[in-house]
């Protein structure tokens, strides 16, 4: 029987040295977003958010209020396999205490992947140089009860090679007005997409996209356009037409949130953050490219 292999940092660090009060702490999370109204805390009572759940757990570990800042705010129903946050420790605690204590207090659908003390100038949002998302589509006739909420089900055949070719017009720094939500509050529609890869793995089609940052609903709107072309509902070249229009009304339907995962956030090497393979967990068996840190 072969010995199972594990990620080199898949287990919590056994660092029990107490870090001083005021230490800036970086933390990576994974979560299922289905039960939450997105990442950000809301003024409405009894609205569950990822931020509230995490801050509650951290505040219990610290016996003092803790506020976190994240790399990218995910929408309601959207998941993450590598969301990065930071906070300034209000009390002295060890890495192990923050990691194990937080995991013991978080709901089952939120987990801490790693904890790391960082320099005081580290900022989860502003220090990030890139964000990476994967949109996972279950492309078969019947839906799956086991995968509900974790993938987007599309029951018509998709031409993933065509979708990949269509997506290449999105690469580079461009005006993505046609792919931003009407409620988007960003001051500029300009974003730089580093790459978009669309590939099939049996019954799954995966859209893998990285950019410096993303507008509100931008990845879901891109997915919606690519699916429309890949299914034959729109003609070849429609992605370029939508992009050139700079008009959101030309962009078709926003894809559902269920298949969307924030899978990685890049930072300058000087911060020396742990590197784990991107997720989500269940697609790592698709091949080596899905287990790698970078494509």
For residues 34 and 234, give the distance between their C-alpha atoms in angstroms, rounded to a whole number: 30
Question: What's the chain's length in residues?
Answer: 295
* Location of structure tokens 């792919």: 179
Residue 168, SS3? helix
Residues ≥6 apart with Cβ < 8 Å to 92: 18, 19, 20, 21
Q: Of the residues 52, 75, 155, 264, which is catalytic?
A: 75
For residues 93 and 289, give the distance between their C-alpha atoms in angstroms, rounded to a whole number: 37
Sign of dihedral through CA atoms 53, 58, 60, 66?
A: negative
Q: What are the percentages of helix, strand and coil residues in the chain, rounded to 5?
A: 25, 25, 50
154's enclosing H/E stretch is: strand 152-154
For residues 256 and 267, give the distance between their C-alpha atoms in angstroms, rounded to a whole number: 29
Please name every residue paired with 104 in a beta bridge, in sequence order, or none if there are none.
Answer: none
Comparing CA positions, the residue from 202, 197, 192 lying closest to residue 282 is: 202
Q: In the annotation, is 155 catalytic?
A: no
Task: Enumerate the active-site residues.
Answer: 75
């Amino acid at each position: 029987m072969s010995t199972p292999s594990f990620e080199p940092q898949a287990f919590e660090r056994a660092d029990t040295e107490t870090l001083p009060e005021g230490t800036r702490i970086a933390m990576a999370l994974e979560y299922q977003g289905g039960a939450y109204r997105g990442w950000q805390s809301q003024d409405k009572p009894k609205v569950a958010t990822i931020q509230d759940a995490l801050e509650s757990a951290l505040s219990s570990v610290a016996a003092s209020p803790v506020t976190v800042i994240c790399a990218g705010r995910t929408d309601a129903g959207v998941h993450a396999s590598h969301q990065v946050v930071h906070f300034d420790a209000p009390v002295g605690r060890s890495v192990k205490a923050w990691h194990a204590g937080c995991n013991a207090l978080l709901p089952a659908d939120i987990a801490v992947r790693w904890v790391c003390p960082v320099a005081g100038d580290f900022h989860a949002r502003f220090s990030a140089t890139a964000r990476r998302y994967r949109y996972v589509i279950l492309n078969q006739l019947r839906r799956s009860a086991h995968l509900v909420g974790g993938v987007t089900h599309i029951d018509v055949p998709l031409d993933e090679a065509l979708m990949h070719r269509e997506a290449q017009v999105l690469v580079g720094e461009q005006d993505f007005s046609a792919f931003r939500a009407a409620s988007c509050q960003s001051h500029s529609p300009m974003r730089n997409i580093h790459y978009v890869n669309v590939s099939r793995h049996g019954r799954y089609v995966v859209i893998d996209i990285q950019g410096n940052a993303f507008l509100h609903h931008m990845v879901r709107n891109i997915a919606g356009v690519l699916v429309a072309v890949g299914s034959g509902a729109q003609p070849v070249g429609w992605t370029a037409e939508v992009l050139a229009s700079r008009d959101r009304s030309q962009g078709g339907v926003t894809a559902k949130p269920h298949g969307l995962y924030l899978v990685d956030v890049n930072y300058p090497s000087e911060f020396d953050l742990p590197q784990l393979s991107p997720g989500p967990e269940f697609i790592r068996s698709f091949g080596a490219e899905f287990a790698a840190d970078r494509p």
